[in-house]
Amino acid sequence: MKSIKILFFCISFLLLATTMNAQQTVRLWDGNPPTSNEITEPEGMIGDSFGINNVSEAQILIYEASKTNNTGMAVVICPGGGYSGLAFRHEGMDVAQWLVKQGITAVLLKYRMPNKHKEVPLDDAQQAIRYVREHANTLGVSVNKVGILGFSAGGHLASTASTHYATSGTNTRPDFAILFYPVITMEAATHVGSKNNLLGDNPTLSDIHLYSNEKQVNANTPPTILFLSDDDTGVLPVNSTQYYEALKRNNVPATMYIFPEGGHGWGMNKDFKYHNQMLTLLEMWLKDIQKKLK
């Protein structure tokens, strides 16, 4: 029965990926990943947002920009879901399609859930960036124009990749970052579910500090734009404001837009009151970043 469920999920996933115009689906790890998340339950789809839970195999869905408007930029997308699942449609596939229209290759990351194994999501994000840079010629991408984008807990992953990167071998530092209502801190203002799923129920003080990304910013953290709502009670706005302040203290170019209302989790939903304004602002910022990246 378990194998039948897994097969059904994989077929459904591939069919949906095809209908959403992904050119490739790639397994990130040829063999065993550096750390197992020890999830044994089969992956499954939940909710209207094509949510995925029990993710135990990391994959990327690649949406290549057209040759007619290719900017040479690529963005690795990290959907949110509290580190317990992935909101794969409105925080994943929909934004991938929008990026392609801007001439940007979108790399949608189906990262493994940590299941209290803190290294797991970052391993996957770094491997996705490596893949893009190592296949840049094939993808029509510049190795110096690879960014990362994340929503909510995926925003925590994107900010972790921005502050905990590897420079040996293929560099995993993103060239820019886009954060939507991100979880940033593991301290008092954190999103408790994300923290517990990532660090466990009784994390050490050193882990709390290490994964509070406002404390890990330095002068080499990539230029960042943040979008959030003032009335967000799911992930408190102070997560974003602390990160923005840390970026400015380190003279990192940073932009932040706080919309008056919208709550949490609006992603690419068109019923978000400021949807069109948000896309206009993001498009302008991406064009500016493109000019600055060599």
Residue 15's contacts (CB-CB under 8 Å, 6 or more residues apart) are none
* The pLDDT value given to residue 4: 45
In single-letter form, the type of residue at position 33 comes to: P
Q: How many domains does the chain have?
A: 1
SS3 133: helix
Domain enclosing residue 78, as ranges: 2-292
SS3 25: strand
pLDDT in tens, the chain (294 residues): 445 444 444 544 554 554 457 889 999 999 999 999 999 999 887 765 568 999 999 999 999 999 999 999 999 999 999 999 999 999 999 999 999 999 999 999 999 999 999 999 999 999 999 999 999 999 999 999 999 999 999 999 999 999 999 888 999 999 999 999 999 999 999 999 999 999 999 999 999 999 999 999 999 999 999 999 999 999 999 999 999 999 999 999 999 999 999 999 999 999 999 999 999 999 999 999 999 997
Q: What is the dihedral sign for C-alpha 256, 257, 261, 266? A: negative
Note the pTM of the prediction, 2 decimals.
0.93
* The pLDDT value given to residue 27: 96
Say which CATH number the domain at 245 has: 3.40.50.1820
Q: What distances in angstroms separate CA 118 from CA 4, 33, 45, 203, 266, one per listed residue?
A: 30, 14, 23, 10, 26
SS3 86: strand
> Order of strands across the sheet with 59-63?
24-27, 59-63, 104-110, 73-78, 146-151, 177-180, 224-229, 254-259
